[in-house]
Structure 1
Amino acid sequence: MKKILLLCIGLISVLGAKAQFPGLGGGSAAPKITGRITATVIDSLTKQPIDYATVSLTKVKDGKAVNGGVTDEKGKVTLQNVAPDEYKLSVGFIGYYSKTIIVKTTPGKPDNSLGNILLKPSPNTLKEVTVEGKKNVIENKIDRMVYNAEADATNAGGDATDVMRKVPMLSVDINGNVQLRGSSVRVLINGKPSGTMANSVADALKMLPADQIKSVEVITNPSAKYDAEGSGGIINIITKKSNAEGVSGSVNATAGTRQNAGAFNLTAKSSRLSVNTALGTQLAYPQESRVVFFNQTTANNATTAVLQDGTSDWTRQAFNGSLGLDYDFNAYNNISTNAKYTRFYNGGPGKSAIFANDVATGNIVSSTDMSNGNLDWNVDYRVTSKKPGEELTVSGQLTTGRNTNEFVNDYRTAAGVPISYVGSNNIGKNQEYTAQTDYVYPFSKTITFEAGAKGIFRNIQSQYGVGEDFDYTQNVGAAYSTIAFNLTKKIQFKGGLRAEYTYVNSNVGKDDYLNLFPSAILSQTINGKTTLKLAYNRRVQRPSLAYLNPFLNKSNLSFDFQGNPNLDPELSDNIEFGYSTFIKGSIINASVFYRNTKNIIEALNKNVDGRILSTFENVGTTQSYGFNLFGSYNPTPKWTLMSNIALNTYEVKSRADIKGMNEGTFLNYNFFFRSANAFKGGWNLELFGVVNSPRYTYQSKTDPMFFYGGAVKKDILKKQGTIGLNVLNPFNRDLHIKTITQGDGNLQRQNIYYPLRSFGLNFSYKFGKLKFTEKKKIKNDDVKQDQQQGGMGGGGQMGGNQ
């Protein structure tokens, strides 16, 4: 704790010595209150917004120009830092009559929203030309690739898992666990974690409707500003938000054979106050899944083989609601707060036939109930100055949640005679407090300095029996600084160092460690179209509750599942070389990388008294080489072809006391293809396919799998609404996933027949004027999520876990 405080206090002292912000002291007088003038420029005949219209602001008394700008694609312009006075606001655009209006602001009312300004077309206006703009599905930036989900019609009606399967460089298994370049990855929502993510990334993704996702950022080279969590990198899901004068919002609804979903978003803004609320729900129909487990153990020269052939009817239900407030005190000070509650249920009945050494021995009737509820509340205070780009942010966040895992197994003979009745109940609670400050100072247009400090204080409790409680405390203190500058006119550099001190205290003992995480990126631009990039960073993976929980889950007849509270964090070093170019509207992005990871955490099967115990261990050290190639091509202006292929090697140097079936070097690959056509009348047609190679761990191999689907969409209600049809795997009801795991004296084969085929009808409608905005939020991206089980007990249920 002492080291945490020293790290935070030391850096904050440095920031305090440098930052001099209005209203916060610093030896200079506070500036006059300034405000802003906003307006929306539209065509008086068509009522359509006019983008790139020129807006200028001059003083009435002396005609001196004080501000100006151009309108955005929504026709809106915002003039900041306007001192109280009387002004002339002039608006003009080619082909329209110019317009001048008088605008007045006062110290008591420094802001002035002018609403709509109508421009009348001039007589010599050229004949009408329709220009349609569409956001690129993929954007490439210096440290990340951005997948714009809102521009992909095939996402309508699905959930975040369906979206992630189409993001370049990612691979997603049937349970929804995500990997980047064959390694575990940290998933954030709007730059911060959620309580649901702390329990299971796979479950959290199923709870987020695809219609609420604006974009997905794949950050392969996070700077020192980010928490060092995620050996493969960071995935940041940006949800749709709005911030417009008046009232605006959207509704989305989906009805289909696999699931139903609904979402509602509403924003009301008046002057400096903005209120946003969102509601969402999902209901997945119970569909029969078939799961076949074969478990074989050898002990005392005797072999026992148990086969379970069962089905289950699982239901998935989710609800989430949020409320956000945003207030501008003036042009320099802003405060925002947001609270979000999520409730998730996953479970249902199942039945299995049991065979021991090829002899039918009985049946099991089971019932499973897994649920969790989480509340995330954050407050952010942001201060800027008259110096463009200078910013100080102070943030706080509270996360609290509760999850349950209940199961009941009724064992009976083939004749129906009761043998045993087994049940268990595990309740997990998590509490987390975070404080964070970040400071950005631009020395010039080409040199930017960033620094910050952060403290995370979390407590996890797991109750699973009389006197059997697991109490886990983890505190993390961090400090960082980065600097970005141009080495030459075409070569950019961004580098930094992050220090993280971790203190752990639990039932099994105490531990603490200090790690340093350097990062550096060199980027060169050639002819304005081609970019070369060389990057290095160090990352860490700390185990979360799903990995640590010592609760012994005995819901399966022949194998048990248990977390390992003695796990050490993973540490990885990553090097990447990237190339990207634009050729006549086409995009090519290629990269090669190398990663070395120590103390890698993997699922491991052990033979314990003739039964298989599935748990987690630090199995050893891995090194991986990889390659990624992404391309986008437009055969016609309204037809886009897109493809991505990712390759990486898997090799582990294991501990001497661990035996596995995969010793050597193996190749993983992921392939994605998409075709999108836009037609007259607002029609859109999209097709996609995803292929995942076999996946390897030290003890297991999962067979390859593929998905395919499409969507047709039609704009309606003057392009304010859409209606569409989505299909997924229309020619195959089930997706067959086969996994073989072999350890010392044990063998396990698992066959899942997952009902993937689905048809869905979706509808969406937006009203008001939408302008998407981003806010800086706390980012607790420092805990390794459950990548194997999809939540506690995910692999050990009778009939399988959908």
Structure 2
Amino acid sequence: MKTLRKYLPNSFSLFLLVCSLVCFPSWVMAQTIKLSGMVTDESRNPLDYANVVCLNGDSAYVGGGITDNFGRFSIELDTAIHSIRISKIGYVSRTFSKPFSTQFILATDNQLLKEVTVTGKASLIKQTETGLLYELHHNKYAKEQNLLQAMRFVPMLDVSPDGNLSVIGHDDYQIYLNGKRYDIAEANTTQTLQSFPAHLVKQIEVVTTEDSRFQSNGAVVINIITEKNLLDGFSLNTSANGTTQPTAKAGVSALGKKRNVDFSVSYNYDLNTQRKQPITQDYIYPDRIVNLDGEGDGDWHNHIMRGMLSWQLDTLNMIYADIHAKILKTDFKTLWEQTVDQENSRTSMFENRNHNTSGTIETNLIYRNYYRHLPQQERLTLGYRYTYNPDRRHYSQWWADDESTRQENHTRTDGGLHEHTANVTYAPIIWERCKTLVGAKAIWRLGNTTATNHSDISYRQQLIYPYVKFSGAVSGINYSLTLSGEYDYLSMKTPYAEEVKHTNSKFYFTPSLEVSRNVKGARISANYTRITKRPTIVMLNPFFSMGNGYAASTGNPYLKSEIQNLLSLSMFKFRKRFYYTVGIAYSHSNDAIVYHQVKDESNDVMVYTYDNMGKVTTVTGNLFFNWQPLTALVLKCSVNGGYYGLRYENNKQNDYTLNVFGWIDYYLPHSWRLGANVMHFKQAPEPNSTINAMTRYSLVVGKTWLKGRLTANIEVSTPFQKYVKMKVNTQTPDYSVRRINYMKARYVGINLSYTFNNGKRAKIQRDTSLKHNDLSSGVE
């Protein structure tokens, strides 16, 4: 303890000592020395049945043992030891001296392996203590591809024809490279992984439960393990994609390194359009029926720009800075023909035009300091983050009927949300089997909007977020416990409506706990999380805009934060080339923020708005399997769905959700690939509404050249169906609404990517540690 105490500030000493005694009472048993750790190879794969020998100062044997199936060992001794010698056939024996770490790494004995001949079919999937490991270097079909394409072989991972990476059954993931955060791949996944040849990758590790090696904060970790550390130099990747839908994508990214400075710049442009897309809506009242037939034309321009820089001052200090921007500019119009069926039927024409700007501008500045005796472990982190989210919506509308001349109306709202974040974390060393993190985060949000209809708002929000996190493993059980709180102070007012003026302050306790263990070859994990979901500036903005003659939308400045409790239980297992996972999840939200439709009697229109409707409960089951009967054949299927219940006032609404996805990929010689997928999905309906299920499918042909530097994919989507119909029916005692949106399903698309290399790629990482989970205010 005297050795460790010199690394801890005096103000933390008593607190940390109490925590360590409470959490780990075995410390008080001082008569026996207990030595434990994990033995792995250079790629962090556990080594089972390795010999562990304990030696005293005279190199005499005083105790020992062997590692279990997961590379772990635990030895109790009644005398002091000076060193540990670890050996295993096929690996270079190594002696470790004090101070001991929890990780012991053995290098492969290449000279010995030359004498070994491996016969039979190589096992592509291995189970690890916290997930699975895919042996990509054993897959001959992956070696001629780039890494993004090769990831389709990995269980739980999927890559769409246009290059979007996703983790089945999970919303969030982090990418690591050889055990270190590789955030540039998260920030610009498609182009970064396309520029990485798969033949340089040895293994891909997928970590689904808490692992002390990574600071994942609950996200799935994708750890890319290479044969060597090849990240030094320069590379340039270009890509383009187009479909007859019509859509278009293009991007360019550059990564480089000069001495102790790493940098990256990139730009992506996405264009989505719709041309003459049909829409029908029927509003049924006791005294009349209104029919609306529309055609939509529009363009959605998405610009994403990124710049990142990392400066390694010395071995213990680093400065990181970045700037990201994601700007979505929308320009679309809808032409409506409105027919009112009553005593005097009449027909009118409406045209709505929308010019909107949304998105994020984000910048981060972070200083990191590492322990001198543990240079891979962060000791102190100081950071500042700024984001700006614009809310600019400009509407224009003209209408005319048989009895009146053409009339026009123009409305708009302009404003945005500024967010400043300061963060400090300290990682004290308490016990080798317990990783501890103590920190605090302060967030200031300033939101202001102006509108032509005088629905301006001005609000300020302050968040104080202290937290402490413990993670590690005890008796074969991995755990992660976070104790955190959030103090929320909100002040809002509208200059033109004194009734919208209020101040709220509240404290939220937001703990989380995850435990997992291997039982008879299967991995079982349980998780509990309590989170807050806060309204965005678009939700709060009371700006009133008309969509057509009978529909409008507005925000709600009285929205409160939603409190959500999440509980899940899951198990995964694999046998040779078959992997599956099953699980069940329960969620319950108080003051749930729900987007719904209400009748505005004063304007005689239906208004979409946000409200804290009541309580939302979901019970969801999931099943996923990955089967590779042949190295060239990959079959995947994911089924997710269950109960959805909404309780508000004296009303109840019960429904279900369902998502079924199936994939098949077959790899041919000379780097050809044939693929097909099918999607069947049904989302949760709006209050008082029902919604139908929809089905889409596609066929893909792909080819790679030049060891993955040049790739091409051709996709044909739903060739025998022009549109998929989304039908929403709303029924209340006062009215009913029937809506049908025709979404284009049939298209042909082509995707191209090429990587130019000059030397080797540089190791630049985006840092997202200052991101807060209550509001998506940054570039995702």
1:665 partner SS: strand
Q: Deviations over 1:713-741 (max 9, x none)?
A: 21112432212212322322212111122
1:370 equivalent in alignment to 2:356: yes
Counterpart in the other structure of 1:465:
452
Gap regions ≥5 residues in structure 1: 1-10, 20-49, 53-90, 97-121, 171-179, 181-186, 192-206, 787-802
Deviation of 1:435 (Å): 0.9
Q: Note closer, same or farther for the CA distance 1:669–1:750 as it changes in structure 2 (3 Å cut).
A: same
- Contact 1:412-1:420 at 8 Å conserved across structures: yes
- Contact 1:221-1:537 at 8 Å conserved across structures: no
Q: Which of 582, 586, 603 pairs up with 1:590? A: 582
Q: Which of 773, 781, 784 pairs up with 2:772? A: 781
Deviation of 1:551 (Å): 0.5
1:524 equivalent in alignment to 2:517: yes
Gap regions ≥5 residues in structure 2: 1-8, 18-42, 46-106, 135-146, 177-186, 195-203, 494-500
- Contact 2:480-2:515 at 8 Å conserved across structures: yes
Q: Deviations over 1:566-585 (max 9, x none)?
A: 11222122222211112113
1:310 equivalent in alignment to 2:297: no
Aligned residues: 630
Deviation of 1:399 (Å): 0.8
Deviation of 1:402 (Å): 2.6
1:369 partner SS: strand
- Contact 2:239-2:252 at 8 Å conserved across structures: yes
**Counterparts of 1:709 and 1:696, CA distance in 2:** 26
Matches within 5 A, 1:282-431: 282-297=270-285, 303-357=287-341, 359-372=345-358, 374-385=360-371, 386-387=373-374, 389-414=377-402, 418-431=405-418
**Counterparts of 1:561 and 1:217, CA distance in 2:** 43
1:781 partner SS: coil
**Counterparts of 1:312 and 1:783, CA distance in 2:** 34
Q: Note closer, same or farther for the CA distance 1:456–1:718 as it changes in structure 2 (3 Å cut).
A: same
- Contact 1:638-1:679 at 8 Å conserved across structures: yes
**Counterparts of 1:564 and 1:462, CA distance in 2:** 13
Deviation of 1:306 (Å): 1.9
1:625 equivalent in alignment to 2:619: yes
Q: Quick one: which amino acid aligns to residue 322 of structure 1?
A: R
Matches within 5 A, 1:545-564: 545-564=537-556
**Counterparts of 2:505 and 2:528, CA distance in 1:** 26
Q: Quick one: which amino acid aligns to residue 366 of structure 2?
A: D
- Contact 1:243-1:773 at 8 Å conserved across structures: no
Matches within 5 A, 1:700-711: 700-711=689-700
TM-score normalised per structure 2: 0.72
Q: Which of 630, 633, 649 pairs up with 1:636? A: 630
Q: Quick one: which amino acid aligns to residue 670 of structure 2?
A: G
2:670 partner SS: coil
2:539 partner SS: helix
1:571 equivalent in alignment to 2:563: yes
1:537 equivalent in alignment to 2:529: yes
Counterpart in the other structure of 2:258:
270
Identity %: 17
Q: Quick one: which amino acid aligns to residue 637 of structure 2?
A: S
Q: Note closer, same or farther for the CA distance 1:218–1:434 as it changes in structure 2 (3 Å cut).
A: farther
Q: Quick one: which amino acid aligns to residue 602 of structure 1?
A: V
Matches within 5 A, 1:107-256: 141=130, 151-152=151-152, 155=159, 158=162, 167-169=167-169, 211=191, 244-256=231-243
**Counterparts of 1:561 and 1:716, CA distance in 2:** 51
- Contact 2:249-2:271 at 8 Å conserved across structures: yes
- Contact 1:410-1:422 at 8 Å conserved across structures: yes
Counterpart in the other structure of 2:502:
509
Q: Note closer, same or farther for the CA distance 1:452–1:598 as it changes in structure 2 (3 Å cut).
A: same
Counterpart in the other structure of 1:651:
645
1:418 partner SS: coil
2:531 partner SS: strand
Matches within 5 A, 1:68-87: none
1:496 partner SS: strand
Q: Note closer, same or farther for the CA distance 1:16–1:243 as it changes in structure 2 (3 Å cut).
A: farther
- Contact 1:538-1:572 at 8 Å conserved across structures: yes
Counterpart in the other structure of 1:695:
684
Q: Quick one: which amino acid aligns to residue 267 of structure 1?
A: L
1:158 partner SS: coil
- Contact 1:645-1:669 at 8 Å conserved across structures: yes
Q: Deviations over 1:187-226 (max 9, x none)?
A: 79989xxxxxxxxxxxxxxx98855679999989999x99
1:759 equivalent in alignment to 2:752: no
Deviation of 1:775 (Å): 4.8
Counterpart in the other structure of 1:612:
606
Q: Note closer, same or farther for the CA distance 1:623–1:762 as it changes in structure 2 (3 Å cut).
A: closer
Q: Quick one: which amino acid aligns to residue 554 of structure 1?
A: M
**Counterparts of 1:127 and 1:310, CA distance in 2:** 69
**Counterparts of 1:770 and 1:218, CA distance in 2:** 25
Deviation of 1:537 (Å): 1.9
**Counterparts of 1:541 and 1:226, CA distance in 2:** 22
Deviation of 1:132 (Å): 11
1:695 partner SS: coil
Deviation of 1:535 (Å): 2.0
**Counterparts of 2:648 and 2:252, CA distance in 1:** 50
Q: Deviations over 1:511-535 (max 9, x none)?
A: 01001112212211135x4211122
Q: Deviations over 1:128-166 (max 9, x none)?
A: 99x999999x999579x9xx9652498466375xx56xx
1:480 equivalent in alignment to 2:430: no
- Contact 1:142-1:523 at 8 Å conserved across structures: no
Give the aligned CA root-mean-square deviation in angstroms.
4.3
**Counterparts of 2:207 and 2:553, CA distance in 1:** 32
**Counterparts of 1:715 and 1:586, CA distance in 2:** 27
Counterpart in the other structure of 1:790:
none
**Counterparts of 2:453 and 2:274, CA distance in 1:** 34
1:723 equivalent in alignment to 2:717: no
Deviation of 1:434 (Å): 0.7
**Counterparts of 1:595 and 1:128, CA distance in 2:** 49
Q: Structure with the greater relative contact order (CA < 8 A, sep ≥ 6): 1 or 2?
A: 1
- Contact 1:244-1:268 at 8 Å conserved across structures: no
Q: Note closer, same or farther for the CA distance 1:654–1:226 as it changes in structure 2 (3 Å cut).
A: farther
**Counterparts of 2:402 and 2:10, CA distance in 1:** 70
Q: Note closer, same or farther for the CA distance 1:485–1:285 as it changes in structure 2 (3 Å cut).
A: closer
Q: Note closer, same or farther for the CA distance 1:135–1:142 as it changes in structure 2 (3 Å cut).
A: closer
**Counterparts of 1:133 and 1:426, CA distance in 2:** 59
Q: Quick one: which amino acid aligns to residue 408 of structure 1?
A: S
Q: Note closer, same or farther for the CA distance 1:637–1:511 as it changes in structure 2 (3 Å cut).
A: same
1:696 partner SS: coil
**Counterparts of 1:511 and 1:410, CA distance in 2:** 41
- Contact 1:549-1:563 at 8 Å conserved across structures: yes
Q: Quick one: which amino acid aligns to residue 462 of structure 2?
A: N
**Counterparts of 1:587 and 1:140, CA distance in 2:** 15
Q: Note closer, same or farther for the CA distance 1:784–1:394 as it changes in structure 2 (3 Å cut).
A: closer
Deviation of 1:342 (Å): 2.5
Q: Deviations over 1:563-608 (max 9, x none)?
A: 1111122212222221111211321111122222211121232222
**Counterparts of 1:12 and 1:311, CA distance in 2:** 69
